Amino acid sequence: MVEPRPGLTILTHGVLSLGVVLVAFPLYVTLVASTHTAESLLSRVPLWLGGHFWENYRTVLGAGMRAAGGASVGTMLRNSLVMALAIALGKIAISIVSAYAIVYFRFPLRMACFWTIFLTLMLPVEVRILPTFKVVADLHLLNSYAGLTVPLIASATATFLFRQFFLTVPEELAETARIDGAGPLRFFWSILVPLSRTTIAALVVVLFIYGWNQYLWPLLVTTDEGMYTVVMGLKRMVTVADQAAQWNLAMAAVILALLPPVVVVVLAQRWFVKGLIEPEK
């Protein structure tokens, strides 16, 4: 702040607090709804917490909405976790070695590989759903963890981030490594990877969230309820066809569905902001 202006400072905090309220209010109402019984939610949702927190969450995690055609939320959470971790770690692993190859080696078709990988940035899942689905079906990967994760692993953002970073690594490091007789893999593992720690940390956060929050792809690739992920399974709980939606249980499931990524982001805030924003500046 350049000069003290008390009026503006009050306005500043006021606007920010309003922003926080707008962000928090939907979450608060959802939390409240998840602590009441289904009957008390048949008319207006109350604004205070009810007393059925543990009961609702236990029901949802265990039996879930199986009676109404849903899968147990516990199973769905597990599937989401596997999917998110597999995507985050898988993407990082294959991108970092690709970026390394493209930056530190000269091989025929190097630029062709680079542009092919670049192409994936222009092809989000939403524009290739039918043919990708067909490929996955032909490979018999439907309703499997592999089918859920592998087609999402190859996109190029991580590769670019790593490439950007590797290009800023000083030449001297590679020179001294070669002089000392280190081979490329040694150089990669002992020098480059430790240097990339911030980028890797930021990517783990971003990719975990990306994998956890996938909606369209799990919707297409899973027909077996045991393989549903929690984010896509929510819709089925919210729009149940032949009975009044059990809002309290559905909202408990919503809270469970959004909790892991939010916790990850809040805890890892510092790394992920640094790793995400630094390369763009």
Show contacts with another protein in window 143-172 (CB under 8 A): 150-151, 153-155, 159, 164, 167-168, 171
Nearer to another protein, 67 or 127 (CB): 127
Which residues, 6 or more positions from 65, have their beta carbon under 8 angstroms from its beta carbon?
71, 73, 236, 237, 240, 246, 249, 250, 253
Q: Which of 6, 22, 48, 241 binds another protein (CB under 8 A)?
A: 22
Angle between helix axes 73-104 and 197-212 (nearest 10 degrees) is: 140
Question: Using the 8-state DSSP alphabet, how is residue 190 labeled?
Answer: I
Place of tokens 């990988």: 117
Question: What's the rounded Cα separation, in Å, for the pair 9 and 3?
Answer: 11
For residue 88 the two structure tokens come to 């985050």
Tell me the window of 51-59, 60-68, 81-89, 268-276 that interacts with another protein (CB under 8 A).
Answer: 268-276
Number of neighbouring beta carbons within 10 Å of residue 97: 14
CB 32 within 8 A of CB 42: no
For residue 79 the two structure tokens come to 């599937």
Question: What's the rounded Cα separation, in Å, for the pair 261 and 87?
Answer: 14
Which residues, 6 or more positions from 225, have their beta carbon under 8 angstroms from its beta carbon?
70, 71
Site for another protein in 42-101 (CB under 8 A): 42-45, 47, 94-95, 97-98, 100-101
Question: What's the rounded Cα separation, in Å, for the pair 237 and 230?
Answer: 10
Nearer to another protein, 40 or 59 (CB): 40
CA distances from 70 to 95, 137, 243 (A): 36, 24, 13
Q: Taking the complex as a whole, how short is the minimal distance between the CB of residue 130 and another protein, in angstroms? A: 5
Nearer to another protein, 227 or 231 (CB): 231
Nearer to another protein, 67 or 119 (CB): 119
Binding mask 241-260 for another protein (x = CB under 8 A): ------x---x--x--xx--
Tell me the window of 25-33, 57-65, 71-79, 191-199 that interacts with another protein (CB under 8 A).
Answer: 25-33
Q: Taking the complex as a whole, how short is the minimal distance between the CB of residue 160 and another protein, in angstroms? A: 9
Q: Taking the complex as a whole, how short is the minimal distance between the CB of residue 244 and another protein, in angstroms? A: 10
Site for another protein in 189-218 (CB under 8 A): 209, 212-216
Residues binding another protein: what is the number (CB under 8 A)? Answer: 108
Site for another protein in 220-239 (CB under 8 A): 220, 231-232, 234-235, 238-239
Q: Taking the complex as a whole, how short is the minimal distance between the CB of residue 28 and another protein, in angstroms? A: 10
For residue 72 the two structure tokens come to 């147990």
Binding mask 94-133 for another protein (x = CB under 8 A): xx-xx-xxxxxxxx--x--x--xxxxxxxxx-xxxxxxx-
Distance of CA 43 to the CA centre of its chain: 35
Q: Taking the complex as a whole, how short is the minimal distance between the CB of residue 139 and another protein, in angstroms? A: 8
CB 88 within 8 A of CB 204: yes
Q: Which of 53, 82, 184, 201 binds another protein (CB under 8 A)?
A: 184
Nearer to another protein, 69 or 124 (CB): 124
